[in-house]
Every structure is written in structure tokens, then in C-alpha cells.
A and B are shown apart, each in its own frame.
Chain A
Amino acid sequence: MNYQFDWHLVMSGEYAQWLREGFVTTLEISAVSIVLAIFLGTVIAVFRLSKVKPLEWISMAYTEFFRNTPLLVQIFFWYFGSEAVLPTSVNEWLYAQDFEFWAGVISLTVYSSAFVAEEIRSGIFSIPKTQLEASRAAGLSFLQSMGYVILPQAFRIIIPPLISQCLNIIKNSSLVMTIGVAELTYMARQIESYTFHGFEAFTISTCLYIMISLVVSVCMNVYDKKVLRSMHY
């Protein structure tokens, strides 16, 4: 093994700046995708539980299809083929923005919302059925009972699995490097090809990813102890 370590190279100056920018981009694209995926996932889960058959089918087909195809293929699909599936006005708006970034956001959102929807559905199922019946009997509509009674309770239970989905989104965001979004993995790869000091760049970016996941899992344990133990289902 005759490899000269040069930690100084990636710890300071231009390359450190690259890694910082990449890290920020990773956090940005993950944050936007997480918010959108939770929103879309909730809609899909409520569709699935509504008694309207076509909505149920749409939601089922949606989750099955997007869960069972690779994220990378979906990224390529949205990046290369969005013209054929999105309305022209949406496409024009996307091209005017940072197109790579938003194609990445769309793919991460659509892919993850299918998983999020499944988590939310199982959370809703764990709320006793009588809750829905009681709120319907009290005169609330289906959407009102969902919004005021079921979802607020369900979300407290779903938070741990939901957070691990969020961690998945953060890790999965590394795939958008393939369409040229300059996030953390992209930058590490870039430093490797510029300097041949991949070892240092990959070490630092791996540590950053692990740091995020450790911080989140510590917070989750605290939540588990404080909130979930006090609930009785």
C-alpha cells in the first residue's frame, strides 16, 4: 500500500469548500423532498383508506409501481423523459429553474412518497376503528375525522418509521449525482477525479452521512422513551 495521505488537501481551501457546498446541497434537496414526500404520501394513504374504489386503485397502483422500481431508473426517467409526461407549462418552469435539482426532487419525492404512504397507512390502521366510527357518529365528515381525529393520533405513532424514511431520503439523495446535481457524493467523486485523493474525500463525506444518521437516531430514542411509552395502544 503506497498511498500518500493528504488530509490537508480536503480539509482546507477549495476542495473543503466543495465538500461544504455539496453537504448543503444534500441537505437542501433532502429537505425539500422530505416535505413533499410526506405531503404526497399522506394524500396517497388517505386515498387508499377512502371507500371510493377508483381512488383506492390509483393509490394501490401508485405505491406498488414506485416501490418496486429502482430509484435510479426513476431519476433517469424524470430527467430524460419528463417532456413526454409532464405538461409543457410545468416543463418550461422546470427548465427555467435549476432543472437537475428539480428533476432530482421529483424523483426522490415520488419514490419516497410510496414508502411514506405505506408507513402512514399502517399508522392509521393501528388507531382503533372505534375512533373513526365515533367521530363519524359525532357528525364529522370522512375528511374531517381524518384531519382532526385520526391523523393527529396516527402521526405520533408513525414518527419513528417516518424518520427512518427521512434518513433513507437523505442517503438516497446521493443518487442524484448521476444527473449532475452537485451534492455531497458528487463532490467527493469530483475531488477523486481531480486529485486522486479519493480516500480522504470519501472518508469525510461518509462521516458526514453517518453523523446525520447518528444524530437522528439518538433523537429518535429520546422520542421513543418520552412520547411513545406514554401512549397506550
Chain B
Amino acid sequence: MNWDIVWNNFDYFLIGAYPEGPLGGLAMSILLALGGIFGAFWLGLLFGLMRLSRKKWIKWPAVVYIEIVRGTPLLMVIFWFYFLAPIVLGHTLPEATSALIAFIVFTGAYIAEIVRAGVLALPKGQTEAARGTGLSHFQTMVHIILPQSLRNMIPSFVNQFVSLTKDTSLAYIIGVNELTRTATQVNNRTLIAPTEIFITIAVLYFIICYVLTATSRRLERQLAKYQARGN
């Protein structure tokens, strides 16, 4: 075993060439995951609510978006934004930006389904009572339904965040210098310690994802206590 290579490059795995060069490594992966989940939350909330609408012209665009994205591999979505941006915009986007857009669009569809399931899981009486007191549909959503259902969705959001953290590794393919790419770079340069390098990378991802998964399990148990549920 040749663990020296791992230790000598450990700070490269963590932050890339920073501060002499651009930020990379694990820090880049975390930034992509954070940006991705933040954008996907708002996009997913929007499309999840659209999907629940009774009006066909609001509902159907959301259905089409959700079904297309959920049927497509993330890698394909990444390629779409990477190769199509130049055609549509006329100039190339930085790799990290186009990867981030792909993550947001991809994860947004899954968040939309979480939002839909969360809203549907609330007892119907909540909407009826709110409408009965004279709130509009929009007011009911914002003041009554979402505050309750969003809290119940927190564990699912955390799970989605975990899969996005793992998925940031795909940005490797279009050349974003995140954790997986730093590993392949070091591997290509040294060529004698592939097992050690990839075990280290796997462990780094594992630590982050495991902590998050454990958190989501605890949240799930705690929230189950005060959950309002439909039948």
C-alpha cells in the first residue's frame, strides 16, 4: 500500500489548488451541492405547486418537466446544458456554472415530487377550513398548507441533498475540478496508488453523506411526533 501519495495530496483533495489557483476538490463539491439544493428548492417548490393546480395550462407544463427529467439520466442533463449553452447563448458557459444549472434543473424535478407528496399528505380539512374562513387559494397555500407540509418534507429534502452531494461527482465529466476529478488527476499523475486514492475519496464523500443521512433519520423520528396526516 502506498498511502504517502494520499497524504501528500490531501490538501489538494480538500481545496484544490486554492489559494494559489482556483478553488476545487471537496470544497468545490460542497459548493456545487449547496448551490444546487438552494436553486432546486425554489424551482421544485414552484413546479410542485404548479403540478397540484387544477388549471390544465398550469399543471401540464409541470407534468412534462417532471416526467422528462425523472426519466433522463443526470449525465444526459449535464451534457444537454454543457453542449447546448453555446448553441443557444452563442458563447460557452464556465463548466461549473453549466454543471450547477444541470443540477438545479435535475434535482428540481425530484423536489417537485416531494413537495407534491408533502402537500397531498396533509389532511384535506386544512385546506377546506382555510378556504372556509375566507382565505384565497394562494393565501391558503402560503399561510396554512406550506408551513405545515414543508416541515414534514425536511427529511426528504435532506435525503435529496445527500444524493445531490454524491451526484456532484458527475461534474467531473465536463471538467469541473471537484473532488472526483482531483482524485483522477492525482491518479493519472502517479499511477501507482489507485486503490488508496479512490478509497480516500470514497471515505470523504461517505463522512459527509453519512452524517446527513443520520441527521435525516433523527429528524424523521422527531417530526413524526407532531405530524398532521391525511388518511
Q: Which of A32-71 contact B (CB under 8 A)?
A: 64-65, 67-71
Chain B residues whose C-beta falls within 8 Å of the C-beta of A198 in the assembled complex: 79, 83-84
Which of B74, B170, B173, B209 is within 8 Å of A68, CB to CB? B209
Chain B residues whose C-beta falls within 8 Å of the C-beta of A80 in the assembled complex: 187, 194-195, 198
Task: Select from chain A the residue with minimum beta-carbon distance to B84.
Answer: A199
Per-residue B-contact encoding for A153-180, CB less than 8 Å = 1, 0 else: 0000000000000000001111101100
Chain A residues whose C-beta falls within 8 Å of the C-beta of B72 in the assembled complex: 171, 206, 209-210
Per-residue B-contact encoding for A191-233, CB less than 8 Å = 1, 0 else: 0100000110010011001101110000000000000000000
Q: Which of B57-108 contact A (CB under 8 A)?
A: 67-68, 70-76, 79-80, 83-84, 87-88, 90
Q: Which of A113-152 contact B (CB under 8 A)?
A: none
Contact A214 B198 (CB under 8 A): no
> Distance (Å) between the CB of B24 and the closest chain A CB?
16
Contact B206 A71 (CB under 8 A): no
Contact A77 B209 (CB under 8 A): no
Which of B83, B169, B210 is within 8 Å of A72, CB to CB? B169
> Distance (Å) between the CB of B74 and the closest chain A CB?
8
Say yes or no: is A85 at the interface (Cβ < 8 Å to chain B): yes
Chain A residues whose C-beta falls within 8 Å of the C-beta of B169 in the assembled complex: 70-73
> Distance (Å) between the CB of A81 and the closest chain B CB?
3
Which of A84, A174, A199 is within 8 Å of B75, CB to CB? A174
Q: How far is the CA of A209 from the CA of B74 in the complex (A)?
A: 11
Chain A residues whose C-beta falls within 8 Å of the C-beta of B170 in the assembled complex: 72, 175
Say yes or no: is B199 at the interface (Cβ < 8 Å to chain A): yes
Q: How many residue pairs between the two chains, A and B, have CB atoms under 8 Å in the bound complex?
A: 119
Chain A residues whose C-beta falls within 8 Å of the C-beta of B199 in the assembled complex: 77, 81
Contact A171 B73 (CB under 8 A): yes
Task: Select from chain B the residue with minimum beta-carbon distance to A203.
Answer: B80
Which of B75, B76, B209 is within 8 Å of A69, CB to CB? B209
Q: Which of B127-176 contact A (CB under 8 A)?
A: 162, 166-170, 172-173
Contact A70 B84 (CB under 8 A): no
Say yes or no: is B184 at the interface (Cβ < 8 Å to chain A): yes
Size of the A side of the interface (Cβ < 8 Å), in residues, is 40
Per-residue A-contact encoding for B196-209, CB less than 8 Å = 1, 0 else: 00110110011001
Say yes or no: is A103 at the interface (Cβ < 8 Å to chain B): no
Contact A68 B195 (CB under 8 A): no
Say yes or no: is B177 at the interface (Cβ < 8 Å to chain A): no
Say yes or no: is A74 at the interface (Cβ < 8 Å to chain B): yes
Per-residue B-contact encoding for A63-103, CB less than 8 Å = 1, 0 else: 01101111111101100110111000000000000000000
Q: How far is the CA of A224 from the CA of B167 in the complex (A)?
A: 30
Contact B210 A185 (CB under 8 A): no
6 A-B contacts (beta carbon < 8 Å): A1-B90, A68-B205, A70-B202, A172-B73, A174-B73, A199-B83
B residues touching A (Cβ–Cβ < 8 Å)? 67-68, 70-76, 79-80, 83-84, 87-88, 90, 162, 166-170, 172-173, 180, 183-184, 187, 194-195, 198-199, 201-202, 205-206, 209-210, 213
Q: Closest 7 A-B residue pairs measured CB to CB? A: A81-B195, A80-B194, A213-B71, A68-B209, A210-B71, A84-B195, A70-B169
Having A67-B209, A77-B199, A84-B194, one finds 11 other A-B pairs with CB under 8 Å, namely A64-B210, A69-B205, A73-B202, A171-B72, A174-B76, A175-B73, A189-B79, A192-B83, A198-B83, A199-B84, A206-B80
